[in-house]
Amino acid sequence: MSITTQSEHASFGGTVGFYGHASEACQGEMNFSVYQPPQARENPRPVLYYLSGLTCTPETFMVKAGAQRVAAELGLILVAPDTSPRGNDLPGEEADWDFGTGAGFYLDATMEPWSRFYRMYTYITEELPALIDHHFSTRGPGHRSLFGHSMGGHGALTLGLKNPLAYRSLSAFAPICAPSRCPWGEKAFSGYLGDDRAAWGAYDATELVKAHRHPAKILIDQGLSDSFLKDQLHPHLFEEACREHGQALELRRHRGYDHGYYFISTLMEDHLRHHARHLL
């Protein structure tokens, strides 16, 4: 369970670090980033996991989101994994920006050849937390929360709903809320899971919430000038399913904001404080 340190940088009294390790789940080298707040030098801290969107790397969140200042104040460890395995030379892996490299969709693929490497669900829920708890000053299981953006918002909602006791709180920025009913999700699910649409529901938040609930209120922020809102994201479908099946949800809609990190960084402090109320 060893890791390789790629670089570390002082930030708001703590440390931003970039690391790699050999992953059993993904059968190859995986990378991740960690922000350790200054309090971690004195005592173990809770961990907030951030799942990034399509094309992103572990660097995207740490560079663009503006999260370290508030995380340092609150004493939260931040972890940002990669968005897929990389460099496996699979047919079509590099052909499109919304499938393959940078587009793992936080699921365990069942179709060959993807099923040998693209096991992001197992990686995020099992292997990575064990690695983080081993190498960093965390409070361990029971002291984790989860959030994400776009494809990563989809990941946060689905992983959190399927594992409600593993994460104290959930939130998302502009998540893909009903991937079974949008072009991004249909492309990814058919490639990774096959054509049996019944199997897709296991990774669709709007379907999952019909049978799974999280004990904490879920926070979602959505920009109304998001170019992907109409065709890809469908937050209204998740909102309707939550209302019908008893999941507490706060869905906030914001005029003038789009899909990018100007939007995310504007609301990042709200999300960190949302999770701190549950973690601290």
Active site residues: 150, 226, 259
239, amino acid identity = E
From residue 45, how far is each of 5, 70, 143, 145 by CA, in Å? 21, 14, 8, 12
In angstroms, rounded to a whole number, what is the distance separating the alpha carbons of residues 222 and 157? 14
Query: 15: which 2 tokens?
Result: 């440390």
What SS3 class is residue 148? strand
In angstroms, rounded to a whole number, what is the distance separating the alpha carbons of residues 18 and 31? 7
In angstroms, rounded to a whole number, what is the distance separating the alpha carbons of residues 103 and 101? 5
In angstroms, rounded to a whole number, what is the distance separating the alpha carbons of residues 66 and 265? 6
Contact 147, 156 (CB under 8 A): yes
b/e code 74-86 from CB counts within 10 Å (16+ = b): bbbbbbbbbbbbb
Contact 109, 193 (CB under 8 A): yes
CA atoms within 13 A on the CB side of 91: 4
β-bridge partners, 35: 16, 78
Chain centroid offset of residue 125 CA: 11
Contact 81, 51 (CB under 8 A): yes
Report the run of H or E that residue 205 belongs to, with start and end. Answer: helix 205-208
In angstroms, rounded to a whole number, what is the distance separating the alpha carbons of residues 137 and 15? 13
